[in-house]
Amino acid sequence: MKAFLQKFSSTFGADMGGPLIAFVAVMAIFSLAADNFLSLATFGSVAFQLPELGLLTLAMLLPLLTGGINLSVTFAANLSGLAAAWVLQANGGVDAAGGVFVLACLAALATGAAAGALTGVAIAYTRAHPILVTLSMMIFLRGLGEFLTRGGDVSGFPDYVAPIGHGSLFGLPIPLLIFILCVGVWHVLLTRSKLGFGLLMIGSNMEAAEYSGLNTRRIVVLVYTLSGLMCAVAGIIMMARFNSVRVGHGESYLLITVLAAFLGGINPFGGFGRVLPVFVALIVLQLLSSGLNLMGANQHLATALWGVLMIVVMAARTLASHTRIFSRKKA
Amino acid sequence: MRRLILGHTTEVTLLAVMIFLSIGLSFGTDRFLTVSNAFDVLNVSAVNIIFAVGLLVVLISGGIDISFAVAASVVQYVTVLVITALGGGNWALGFVIAGGVGISLGLVNAFLVHQLRIISIVATISTFNIFFGLLMFFTKGVSIYNLPDWLSNRVVLFEHEMPDGSWVELTLPVVVMVLCCFATWFLMSRTTIGRKLYAFGDNPEGARRFGINIGAMHAIAFGWLGLMAGIAGLMQAHYAQEVVPNALYGRELDVLAATVLGGARLGGGKGSVLGCVLGVLMVSITQNGLNLLGVSPFAFKMIVGAIILVAISLSSARFDKLLPQALKRAPAKGKQP
Amino acid sequence: MGTEPLLSLSNIKVTFGGVRALKGVSFEVMPGEVHCLAGENGCGKSTLIKVITGVYKPEDGAELRFDGKVIPAMTPTLAQSLGIQVIWQDLALFGEMSVAENIGFQLAVNGKFGLVDKKAIDAAALKALARLGVSLDIHRPLRELPIAQRQIVAIARALVGEARLVFMDEPTASLTQSEADYLIEIVRTLSASGVAVVFVSHRLAEVLEISDRITVLRDGALVGVYPVDGMTQSRVTELMTGRNFDSAVIAADHDAAPVVLSVRNLARTGEFTDISFDLRRGETLGITGLLGAGRTELALTLFGMRQPHGGEILIEGKRMEFGSNRDAIRAGVAYLSEDRLSLGLNQPQSIADNLVMASLDHILSNGLISPTKKANVVSHWISALGVKIGTPDDPIRTLSGGNQQRVAIAKWLAIGPKILILDAPTVGVDVGARAGIFDIVRKLAAEGLSIIIISDEPPEVYFNADRVIHMADGQFHASYDPRTISLTALEAAIYA
């Protein structure tokens, strides 16, 4: 048993334990409780719902790893979506050409990056607590979005936009493919890039990182800019899925992204964490809500159970670390 | 006087900004600088101030709570259901039930933080989802419009018609808000419990070595916020004359921003009731002023967000650096202590 | 001094997870005595203090007497009510509270009817400060006070608790010399008023100056109890480590070697002025002087983290303008911080990550970090500097001070530096492990690295540098050649 645990840790990382056990538990419980759980339909619904929450969680992930947080992710995504929608509308709306869509995506990415960069600069240069900066940024972006749209929807896009939200490629949903691509990029960024190394270092001790010659301000600005870029990707997907943009879409995901990240073993104080366990944690959350859906319960019960799951996993981690210290002392 | 200003930099700065803002607004509109408008601002802010002083206690003790606003929604629902089941009830019963349910929900957080050693932001994000998810699940999102009369009838404790024809009204939520502020102030600055909470938030390890009961600190801090959330929930139901399960959803972050704007520190050990009240009022006055200036309501949040962003950036760059040098400190008297 | 001991312990045994932390130690303090508890890190000093204050329970067979009475089971509350107070190294004060609230904290949390009596607290604070002969503004927030005054506040707080026995854990570790002298005065006042003081300190000079008796612990066992009269620093070191350290001057001429670093009239307002020196290839320069002399400020300026207000820095003849420490690192300057815990190393992170933190550009391939290159760099330096580790993925905080310092040095060697500045390289490193650090430094110098050692312990620079500069009040006071001056004469010049 011990040998197995060690092998598991060295293959997947110790932080993979929580999400994988939860995954197995959810799969087991629902396959027993609902006979139609293990079906293509379930996995289809998971595959289509995962990307929105997933992309926003990726946007949340980098700031969390630096010991910060980005509470403006959902509204940054909305605003990026708005930017894309306007470019499309200003250039023909439903009749916009393919080139316009590229332009629209660029506008969205630029908007997300700008919002992120502004946040990053405010945090890096004032050293104000990221909760506060991003919280006020959230209030500002929400206000800006509501002001620009007057609380309404922006819709009417060319036909080819919808497949980005609903279509499939090689049997896999396009949004899922985009999400997996982003997970891959984030994974490489965190494990292999200088920026990824630096952001983990500043997550556990910003000053020590600065003394070792890392450009901590630049890292902070880049982290929030990348977070904003990822919000823009989420915003584009959301626009394609709903075929409209509305400020407030996905608002309820905000705290879920934090929950998913912690569930995936991200250290709440920053400095430690990986993308893959978070990916598994996201799948668990979606399976839970799809399973409950199959059994006739609504999303709200799933939300409540997400909270319960989180507490169970965190409590189990506390217990596990206690017994580990205990056994080390004994050894 | 110098000590007074330096000891309360945030409060003094907020007050100064508010005065400037008010002067500007009173030139911009006729309505702003009237007694009745001032009371309007208070009436509008009462619920948020009650939330804020509760949150203040948790922030001072070094924790954070995201769940209190949805907890207040749970309180509203449970209180109205219980009271209806009991056949109507009255204010006293309402406060007891709302307070009791609020405290219980707060203690759930304290249990998670203390017994299960889950850090407060993680624990309360979880309970946020649990409270809200279960509330929406069981109520199916249905609002209650049929409140008992005593709860839905406006209670005006004092009213007076001004010469210009406008009305000055002192409503129940404002009075309750003042009582809550006073109680929180008394708890935090006049009782040994308050000292322990400050000490625990300031230096948890130091507090532990003095034998301070950490579990009790968590229970008191989260319990107090629960109590305030319960009362605020009741006041909000009274003010809105209905109970909508998602009415307070999202309120937690607005209150958090205002509280921190008022000088409470994330991480603990610092914050005051006065600052907290000023922080909330600052936001309310801005909204009220924008409204009177005829600015589109859609622009309110944007401007408020920008103001908080600037204020927080400035306060991190230290308000006291912006003060005139002469105010700061008498020249150091030699090196030796 | 009375004849009956105030506190006496015998046969104290404590075991943690199979490891004996205390192996039957006895310990005794007389009333009004200043007693030093000496020993290397991990010798059991803090465990012993925690037994006395009731935090840990000793195993059966132990006896604890206070004031002649046997205490069967000590608890923290009982210890406080007996007047046993501990001033921890981190002081355990409350930054946002006022001086008075800190001193009177006991009263504040034990007020009548659960209420706080501000007047009583202020009065108690003033009384305690008066007893120490100190006047402080009691309404100032504690965080505004310099560290020395915070020490005073912590001592005053112990007095409010009617202290009869005060433990002080490394009280002078972060004080300047004049502050430490002042603290020693306070301790004398305290002991003259009948309070016994147990001093835990690694500054041996100070220990010998202030204490009446010394108890030495090693590996959880009692080595002995010695009167201070007739004790020398080297004798205490020998007792603590069980080894004898021979030191010899290593200074040599490097006049033929090329100048690597040249500093001309360097100045920073309020920190240092008119600093000029040359550092040659393979040369080791020692800078000593009291804390607050401007040594660390000078080092940070050479490292580019602070910008000079005047003068110039030349490396191999080229004038340098450092915008940040990144420019300095590129120019080949490395700086080992005096504060290893919070600045020098990233304690929660792994040994490997700490080691490559400054030299990421060396382990890239195609713009990405290469795990193979990283592993090679890490294993190379771990073995080159003889660092004892479990695996490179362990958090660095699990290493001993000496091994941590070796990793910190390795981190800088990995950038291929020309100049290595070591700021207080032996702080928090056991006496026994210090020699190993200096062996590495000598080897590096022999390989051609130019080194600056900054230390407030004159023997460290005297025995390990080619030249010693005495810095005082932000200026280079004098320069000495260890071959032509005795250590005693050097120390006399510095402490004069």
Which domains does chain C carry?
7-241 (3.40.50.300), 259-495 (3.40.50.300)
Please indicate whether, in this complex, the C-beta atoms of B137 and A301 are within 8 angstroms of each other.
Answer: yes
The torsion angles phi and psi of B202, rounded to 5 degrees, stand at -75, -50
pTM for this one?
0.86
Please indicate whether, in this complex, the C-beta atoms of A147 and B130 are within 8 angstroms of each other.
Answer: no
Distance CA B312, CA B257 (A): 9
Please indicate whether, in this complex, the C-beta atoms of C347 and A213 are within 8 angstroms of each other.
Answer: no
Q: Which residue has the higher pLDDT, C239 or B195?
A: B195
Is C308 at the interface with chain A, CB within 8 A? no
With 50 as the cut, is the pLDDT of residue B38 above it? Answer: yes
State the pLDDT at residue B315. Answer: 65
Band (B333; pLDDT cuts 50, 70, 90)? very low
State the pLDDT at residue A292. Answer: 83
Chain mean pLDDT for chain B: 85
Helix ranges (DSSP H) in chain B = 2-7, 9-28, 35-60, 68-85, 91-114, 120-139, 149-152, 172-190, 192-202, 204-209, 214-240, 251-261, 273-292, 297-316, 319-322, 325-328
State the pLDDT at residue C169. Answer: 84
With 50 as the cut, is the pLDDT of residue B332 above it? Answer: no
State the pLDDT at residue A187. Answer: 96
Distance CA C83, CA C73 (A): 16
What's the mean pLDDT in A123-132? 86
* Count of domains observed in chain A: 1
Count CB pairs under 8 A between chains B and C.
Answer: 71
Residues of chain B with pLDDT > 70, as a percent, come to: 91
State the pLDDT at residue A2. Answer: 60
User: Beta strands C165-169 and C69-70: pairing type?
Assistant: unpaired
With 50 as the cut, is the pLDDT of residue B326 above it? Answer: no
pLDDT tens-place string over residues B61-95: 999 999 999 999 999 999 999 999 988 888 999 99
Q: Are B85 and A284 in contact (CB under 8 A)?
A: no
What's the mean pLDDT in A13-24? 78
Q: Are A65 and A203 in contact (CB under 8 A)?
A: yes
Is C358 at the interface with chain A, CB within 8 A? yes
Both tokens of residue A51? 């990307």
What's the mean pLDDT in A246-268? 89
The lowest-confidence range among B53-57, B251-255, C256-260 is B251-255
pLDDT tens-place string over residues A39-73: 777 788 888 889 999 999 999 999 999 999 999 99
* Of residues A277, A278, A281, A300, the one with CA closest to residue A289: A300
State the pLDDT at residue B124. Answer: 93
Place of tokens 């000598």: C442
Q: Are C5 and C28 in contact (CB under 8 A)?
A: yes
CATH number at residue A182: 1.10.3470
Q: Are C357 and A212 in contact (CB under 8 A)?
A: yes
pLDDT tens-place string over residues A152-170: 888 888 888 888 888 888 8
Give a yes or no: residue A201 inside a domain: yes
State the pLDDT at residue B308. Answer: 80
The torsion angles phi and psi of C454, rounded to 5 degrees, stand at -110, 130
Question: 3-state DSSP call for residue A200?
Answer: helix
Distance CA B291, CA B264 (A): 28
Please name the residues between 223 and 282 in chain A that touch chain B, using a CB distance below 8 Å. Answer: 251, 255-256, 258-259, 262, 268-269
Both tokens of residue A282? 């996201």
Separation of CA C408 from chain center: 17
Residue A168 structural domain: 13-330
Per CB-CB distance under 8 Å, the chain C contacts of B336 are 178, 182
Distance CA B247, CA B256 (A): 17
* Of residues A310, A136, C226, C293, the one with CA closest to residue B286: A136
With 50 as the cut, is the pLDDT of residue A101 above it? Answer: yes
State the pLDDT at residue C205. Answer: 75
- Looking at residue C262, its amino acid is S
Q: Which residue has the higher pLDDT, C2 or A307?
A: A307
Highest average pLDDT, of B235-244, B309-318, C14-23, C152-161, comes from B235-244
Distance CA B198, CA A60 (A): 31
Please name the residues between 13 and 52 in chain A that touch chain B, using a CB distance below 8 Å. Answer: none
Which of C322, C339, C346, C369 to probe the A interface (max A CBs under 10 A)? C346
Which of A82, A139, A323 to probe the B interface (max B CBs under 10 A)? A139
Chain mean pLDDT for chain A: 87
Query: How far is CA A46 from each of CA A172, A281, B149, rounded to the nearest angstrom?
Result: 12, 13, 47
Distance CA C99, CA A234 (A): 52
ipTM of the complex model:
0.85
Helix ranges (DSSP H) in C313-366 = 325-330, 351-356
Please indicate whether, in this complex, the C-beta atoms of B206 and C93 are within 8 angstroms of each other.
Answer: yes
Give a yes or no: residue A3 inside a domain: no
The lowest-confidence range among A89-98, A242-251, B146-155, B232-241 is A89-98
Is A272 at the interface with chain C, CB within 8 A? yes
Q: Which residue has the higher pLDDT, C475 or B158?
A: C475
Distance from the Cα of A211 to chain C's closest Cα (Å) equals 6
Band (B3; pLDDT cuts 50, 70, 90)? low
Query: Average pLDDT of each block of 10 consecutive residues along chain C (496 residues)?
Result: 80 80 90 88 82 87 90 85 85 88 87 85 90 86 84 87 86 72 84 89 77 88 88 81 74 91 93 93 91 86 94 94 94 92 91 94 92 95 90 89 92 95 85 85 94 88 93 89 89 78
pLDDT tens-place string over residues B88-116: 888 999 999 999 999 999 999 999 999 99
Distance from the Cα of B117 to chain C's closest Cα (Å) equals 19
Q: Are A164 and A175 in contact (CB under 8 A)?
A: yes
Is A9 at the interface with chain C, CB within 8 A? no
State the pLDDT at residue C259. Answer: 95
Sign of CA dihedral C72, C78, C82, C88: positive
State the pLDDT at residue B319. Answer: 41
Query: How far is CA C185 from each of CA B336, C134, C164, C206, C363, rounded to the nearest angstrom?
Result: 12, 11, 18, 12, 54
State the pLDDT at residue C401. Answer: 83
